[in-house]
């Protein structure tokens, strides 16, 4: 079974990274869609210690093989 996760990595003013992971992203996501979503998260001010800048985004695929079910 393959699982996919969209990881959006943001920068904080402290120099640290802030990561938001979302399971099961669409397979046809574009760079523009992800960048727009990340900027909307930054602009929303929803978090007490929230992101200040976009660093990168990545889709992580993972294969899991059950040995004992």
Q: Does residue 26 belong to any structural domain of this protein? A: yes
Average pLDDT estimate for 48-58: 93
Q: How far apart are CA 49 and CA 19, in angstroms?
A: 12
Domain of 23 in residue numbering reads as 2-63
Q: How far apart are CA 7 and CA 22, in angstroms?
A: 7
Q: Does residue 69 belong to any structural domain of this protein? A: no
Percent of the chain with pLDDT over 70: 100
pLDDT in tens, 19-47: 999 999 999 999 999 999 999 999 998 88
Q: Does residue 68 belong to any structural domain of this protein? A: no
Closest by CA to 3, choosing from 33, 27, 30, 24, is 24
| Number of domains into which the chain is organized | 1
């Amino acid at each position: 079974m393959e699982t996919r996760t969209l990881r959006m990595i943001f920068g904080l003013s402290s120099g640290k990274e802030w990561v938001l992971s979302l399971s099961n992203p669409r397979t046809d996501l574009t760079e523009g869609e992800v960048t727009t979503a990340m900027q909307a998260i930054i602009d929303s001010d929803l978090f007490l210690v929230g992101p200040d800048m976009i660093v990168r985004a990545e889709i992580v695929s993972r294969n899991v093989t059950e040995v004992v079910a």
